[in-house]
Each structure stands twice: as structure tokens, then as C-alpha cells.
Chain A
Amino acid sequence: MKCRVCREPAIIDIRRHNANFCTEHFLRLCRDQVERSIKDFGMLTRDEKALVAVSGGKDSLAVWDLLLDLGYQADGLYLGLGIGDYSDESGRLAQAYADRRGAHLVRVDLPGEYGYDIPAGSRAAKRAPCSACGLSKRHLFDQAAIDGGYDVVVTGHNLDDEAAVLFGNVLHWQTDYLGRQLPVLPARHGFPRKVKPLVRLGEREMAAYCVVKGIDYIVEECPMAAGNKHLGYKSALNDIEASSPGAKHSFYFGFLERASAMFRPEAEAEQDDLLHPCPTCGAPTGAVTPDGEPTTCAFCRLVVRAGGHHPPPRDASDVPVHLDTDRRRAAVQEASP
């Protein structure tokens, strides 16, 4: 196979593009697709400070690498989730990448700072492990971004991730989720802006990017995720893609172009009407008691059920954190109806 651009030997064939690429032009393709996503969806500018949610996996390390190569201001945030050897290895790889690039990695350790880990949290809260993990990550990413003064949180969700989530949401007609499934979620009511610059790149391309760039990432799947529905949806979509290259791209971008707007009013109305600041942490939440009274957010309830705690102030340098938490609470209150 020859590279579509230069006719040199190819290293990868991408069937949905009906094209093959050499190393140089494959890397250029990845950079171009990320720049196009950032521009088309207004994700971020080079003047803004971005916080990249880094797991030690291929997608998050690749998006961090791409943003740095493209000249964006991007720090990383690694959350230690307490999933045994898997967390130890993923944390090591995230730190090794940061050290190699001379990039700044913020680290938050869930067991050390909040007193619980994902296996214990999921058992105590009677949630699926991925649900407890996702809830913890969303809360702590938001909190770290607000506390650190970042303009935007970047995640490594790729085309396969978004197509699989869309597939699940359509199968179950989760119309509120469909209204929020966007490449950019604007900052609002105490939530930071969240962006997904990899939506034009597939999972296979991201793994290839890391191999080509020599980025060491955790290849093994998270032991808590084995057999979950999301992986099943990805497998089903790959079966379709194998016989119909480009199906995942058409499915996701067709949704964004032709259907997404139909679901947004419902999602926005729900978000706007129900938010209040969590009495414990100040984060925006729509949680209410059975009597309809505002109550603590899902993350704080998870912490309590799992027998954990919020981290105490460590020293004087923690003061800005509390100022920011108060400011976040005030922002939610001001924005709430």
C-alpha cells in the first residue's frame, strides 16, 4: 500500500477515508483533524488554559500530545482511582509522559484524599463500577478546573466513543442525554466548558498515533469495565463498520448536523430549572429529596455511602481552593432561577 499523499510505503490503512498514509502524513492527518474540530466547534483558543483529563490510556495521552504540538496551553489532570495495579500503572505512564514532555500534571488521589476507591465506592453505592467512576471523574475534573483557574476541560473522547454513546442513547431513547451529546459543552452555572477535540478521529487511529509517536500507554482494558454495555456497543458498531466503512462517522456527524438540535431544548430546560449549589461542596446539582427539597450532589452522597470524606485543608496554600469553591457556589446561586 502507498501513502495517498506522497506514494511512499503506508503504515496504516483507514477504510472510512478510503486511504492509506505513511508516518508523516498520518501524523499530519491527526493534527489537521484536531485543528478542524477545534475550529469548527469553537472549542478553545491558544490564549486559553486547558486542563486535559489524563487516564494513562491512548486517547487522553494522544489528545494532550496533539494539543501541545499544536501550541495550546495544556496541563494534565490524573485521578488515581484506586483500581489496584491498573491504577498504579496508568498513573506511572501519565507521569512518565508528562516528565518526557516537560508538561505539568496535576494529580488527585481518590483513596488518599477522599477516603474511598472505585471498587468500594461502586459496592457501597450499589452503582456499576463505570457509573461510580464516571460520577467521581466528572465531579473532580470540574472541581480541579474551577480551582485551578482553567478555561476549559479537554477529554479524549474519540469518534468511536461518541458513536457508541449515541448508539446507547438512541437504543433507549434517552432524549435528555441526546440533547447534551455535543463536542462542546459551554461553561454554565458553575460547570467549566468541556471539549472533545478527537471526535473526528477513530479509536484505531489514536492507538496508531501513540505507537508512531512512541507514547507508552496502558494497553490493558480497565478490569472494572470488562463486559460493560459501552464496549458491547463499540463491538456492534465495528461489525457494521467492517462491512460499511464510514458508518460510525455518518451516524455521529449525521446526528450532530440533522438531529441534535431537536433534543437540546429539553436538555437545556432540565439543566436550567433544577440546579442549585450543593450544600456540602458548592458544585451545581439538580439533586432533590423525595419531598422536592434541594439536597447534596450525587458525588457527595457517593463519598458518604462509600465511607469517605472530603479532603481537609492541607496548609495555607489551600486557601484559594476554598475561595474558588465559595465562588463556584455563588456562581451557581446567581445563575439559578
Chain B
Amino acid sequence: MKVQLRNPRREVEVTGPINVATLLQRLEINRESVLVIRGDTLVPSDTMLDDDDVVEIRPVISGGAA
């Protein structure tokens, strides 16, 4: 499957099937700091992802230190 990442923007290929939680572990991404979006839809951590999916891993941390 195609996995789109940000900061910096890049795309990696990951072999499915794999669930969301395992995908994040494999990419060493803290699940508290991202959303996983398949197509236009949020998917929770037990969702199985297949080879033909396109998945965005979107960071949610933002903010300056005023």
C-alpha cells in the first residue's frame, strides 16, 4: 500500500495486510500524535489495511510557544 507521510512530505510502500496499530509501530510513529486516514475516512487502530489502499498518516501536533 501507499503510505503518505508529512514533515517532510514523502511516500513509502508497505506490504499488507496489516492493521493500523502495527503499521504505526513499524514506522515508529506514536499513535497519540497522528490520525490515520484511508481515502477520506478516519480509521481506528484495529482496521486492517490492504495492499491496494492509499493511507495518509497525518500529524496532529502543532503550536508555537508564545
Decide: A235 near B62, CB < 8 A? Known: A11-B41, A219-B6.
Answer: no
Residues of A within 8 A of B64 (CB): 129-130, 133-134, 222, 224-225, 228, 230
Distance, CA A230 to CA B61, complexed state (A) = 10
- Does the CB pair A211–B66 fall under 8 Å? no
- Does the CB pair B6–A231 fall under 8 Å? no
- Does the CB pair B65–A168 fall under 8 Å? yes
- Does the CB pair A228–B65 fall under 8 Å? yes
Residues of B within 8 A of A168 (CB): 65
Distance, CA A234 to CA B30, complexed state (A) = 12
Among candidates B32, B44, B66, residue contacting A138 with C-beta atoms closer than 8 Å: B66
CB of B41, distance to nearest CB on chain A (Å) = 7
Interface positions, chain B 6-62, Cβ under 8 Å from A, are: 6-7, 30-35, 37, 40-47, 58-62
A170 contacts partner chain B, Cβ-Cβ < 8 Å: no
Closest to A164 in B: B63
Residues of B within 8 A of A11 (CB): 41-44
Interface positions, chain A 124-166, Cβ under 8 Å from B, are: 128-131, 133-135, 137-138, 160-161, 164-165
**Cβ contacts A198-236/B at 8 Å (1 or 0 each):** 000001101110011000000111101100111100110
Residues of B within 8 A of A224 (CB): 64
Distance, CA A57 to CA B63, complexed state (A) = 9
A interface majority secondary structure:
helix
- Does the CB pair A219–B58 fall under 8 Å? yes
Residues of A within 8 A of B46 (CB): 1, 13
CB of A203, distance to nearest CB on chain B (Å) = 5
Residues of B within 8 A of A211 (CB): 35, 37, 40, 42, 58
CB of B37, distance to nearest CB on chain A (Å) = 6
Residues of A within 8 A of B7 (CB): 220-221
- Does the CB pair B66–A204 fall under 8 Å? no
B interface majority secondary structure:
loop
**Quick check: which of A237-245, A259-267, A304-312 contacts chain B, the rest being far away?**
A237-245
CB of B19, distance to nearest CB on chain A (Å) = 11
A12 contacts partner chain B, Cβ-Cβ < 8 Å: yes
- Does the CB pair B60–A204 fall under 8 Å? yes
Residues of A within 8 A of B59 (CB): 219, 221
Distance, CA A168 to CA B63, complexed state (A) = 14
Residues of A within 8 A of B41 (CB): 11
Distance, CA A143 to CA B56, complexed state (A) = 40
- Does the CB pair A135–B62 fall under 8 Å? no
- Does the CB pair B44–A58 fall under 8 Å? no
- Does the CB pair B44–A203 fall under 8 Å? no
Distance, CA A210 to CA B46, complexed state (A) = 22
Residues of A within 8 A of B66 (CB): 130-131, 133-135, 137-138
Decide: A239 near B60, CB < 8 A? Known: A11-B44, A131-B66, A138-B66.
Answer: no
The 5 closest A-B pairs by CB, nearest first: A134-B66, A230-B65, A130-B64, A207-B60, A238-B32
Question: 12 additional contacts, CB 8 Å, given A211-B42, A219-B6?
Answer: A10-B44, A11-B42, A20-B44, A130-B64, A130-B66, A133-B66, A138-B66, A203-B60, A204-B35, A206-B60, A212-B42, A235-B61
19 contacts between A and B (CB under 8 A): A1-B47, A10-B44, A11-B43, A11-B44, A57-B62, A129-B64, A135-B66, A165-B65, A203-B60, A203-B62, A207-B58, A211-B35, A221-B61, A222-B64, A225-B63, A230-B65, A234-B33, A234-B63, A235-B61
